[in-house]
Chains A and B, each alone.
Chain A
Amino acid sequence: MKQIALYGKGGIGKSTTSANLSAALGESGRSVLQVGCDPKHDSTRMLMHGEPLPTVLDLVRERGAAGVALEDVVRTGYAGVRCVEAGGPEPGIGCAGRGIIATFQLLEERGALEADVIVYDVLGDVVCGGFAMPMREGYAEEVYLVSSGELMSLYAANNIAKAIARLAERPRCRCRLAGVILNAKGMEREEELVRAFADAIGSRLVAAIPRDRVVQLAELHRRTVIEYAPASAQASVYRRLAEDILGNTAMSIPRPLTQDELESLALEYTTL
């Protein structure tokens, strides 16, 4: 079983990448479970053709944890991908991080965390211990950082690298950095910059996903690119990413950059 987690800045395209990755893996005959770990619970929307999933935490709130069965929260989407959304509190109240911990405990108790590949799509930055929990407790053994070439995106990726480095010091923590995925914004020298960032933190660029209008069109049709435009070049990129991830064994403990180092790197690849 391969357990991977995609972390990155909010809005960078983690859910799009995760859903297309899961769809590609599902199409290849693997059993796949995608767990959305963002309170806004839209990670699996494209896989489910826009059908909103009841979130684990909403049901826990309504019925209590004992009243939540696996079939209540796990639905099968495109290519047989099983989909779960953790959900969470309304913005500005409660503790979403604790919600992630409670969700994982419930899924594990119900035996849900079984598949050839489990894809965890985790909220933006590692803002507290709760969001580090998939890494800390050994659920996510391979972490992929999703980033564009924008400084704030790299900054978030670097922060997550810090969390991985810190957690890797613990003997029982198996979490490692598996690579960096560029989800391009179309900036000048963007791939060079993100590749240099990946190298600098002791990892590597595993995929460069170009900016393509088909992504927006697929989303408007509530489909993954894999399903909406299976013959497109973008779909090929996602399929290649899926195969690369399956074969990836190059895990590392990252060496996060200082703020100055990160800014200098970004400046180096920016035309003033």
Chain B
Amino acid sequence: MSSNPSPSSTPRSDGCTLAGALSVASAVADGVTIVHGPSGCSHHHVSLLLTSLLDRPGGRLPVVLSDDLGETEVIFGGEDALAAALDEAAARSPGSIAVLSTCVAEAIGDDCIAVAERVRSVPVVVVPAGGFLGGGFYEGERAALGAYAALSARLPVPDRGEGSVVTLVGEKNLEYEADRHAAELGRLLGRLDLGVGLRFIRETSTADCGLLPCSDLLVLREPGLAAVAESFPVRPRTPRIRGFPVGLEATLAFLRSVGVALGLDATAACEAEAAHQDAMLARFGGLSGSRISFPDAPDWAVEVADALGMTIHPAGIPVPIPDPAPVGTAGMVSMLSRWGRVL
């Protein structure tokens, strides 16, 4: 039974389940995504996706097909239409195919899994994405991550190279800053002679998804991903960090957490990063003494303002608080640069 909340209590950020699932499935670099539903469902969400990709010139355009369910399919079932779309998708020889169901397909009870199981030549994942069942964008995103995680256990294990495999989980693929955030985490991990082993999932090949079970550390984009990460086919007690670091001290704490998780001494890494932060703050020393204001006063913004000797006062000059929150020391650089432009 649906537990969908009333419209008045639905968070504005909690959009369509299908959009969330598509944001993950379309990020499989060699994948094809089938939206099992009316063509309008794909049109709307692919338009959104393509709009966000305009910010990444030269980026790959995802392959998204619709099986274009109409009234005839609603009456007689849409499984034949899905089978035909799967044939078309498989003919493109993708690394994998993701079938995303829609409200209509779920309402008429199409057995997408049974249809998908008939495809032998390409791995197929099925993601239930009927929004009327409850939930929204985030549930779709997590359902898609869970589906690809389950697939990863059936894939050949790729060459994991030497050293620990650190996996970024659930990057926000529609965020403009997603690649910058990943680059910052890569830089921080580099202080411990580590790197990002797997981005699960952002421009990741299907074969590389097979690396997920080899993960030595999962770094979740946000705490809300903890539940889906519990279902990942990783080794028992694989450590996980429940969010990307936001703030000066949080960035150092991130390094310490990685060290503890992987049995590394992070002292030198923390000292080096703290020195880097000091140098960064010195660059913005001109902001010292400014009187600023911002809404809600998040801890990490107060922290950096204090570190720079700024005064937070309701009558101060309003400064922008980035959304999403700035990740790592590099995120603070971007934010302070914006502050500098308004002060």
Seen from chain A, the residues whose Cβ lies within 8 Å of a Cβ on chain B are 57, 60-61, 64-65, 88-90, 93-96, 98-99, 102
Contact = CB atoms under 8 A, between A and B. Distances in A.
Contacts, number: 41
Contact of B72 (A60, A90, A93, A96): A60
B77 interface: yes
A93 B107 contact: no
Contact of A89 (B71, B75, B107): B75
A93 B112 CA distance: 12
Nearest to B108: A95
Nearest to B109: A93
A60 B75 CA distance: 10
B249 to A, nearest CB: 57
B76 A102 contact: no
Nearest to B104: A95
Contact of A96 (B71, B75, B79, B107): B75
A182 B19 CA distance: 53
Nearest to A62: B72
Contacts of A65: 71
Interface string B64-96: 000000011111111100000000000000000
Nearest to B80: A93
A98 B73 CA distance: 10
Nearest to A95: B108
Contacts of B78: 94
Interface string B109-140: 11000000000000000000000000000000
A95 B107 CA distance: 9
Contacts of B108: 93-95, 98
Nearest to B73: A94
Contact of A61 (B76, B107, B110): B76
Contacts of A93: 76-77, 79, 108-110
A172 B110 CA distance: 34
19 contacts: A61-B75, A61-B76, A88-B75, A89-B75, A93-B76, A93-B77, A93-B79, A93-B108, A93-B109, A94-B73, A94-B74, A94-B75, A94-B78, A94-B108, A96-B75, A98-B74, A98-B75, A99-B76, A102-B75
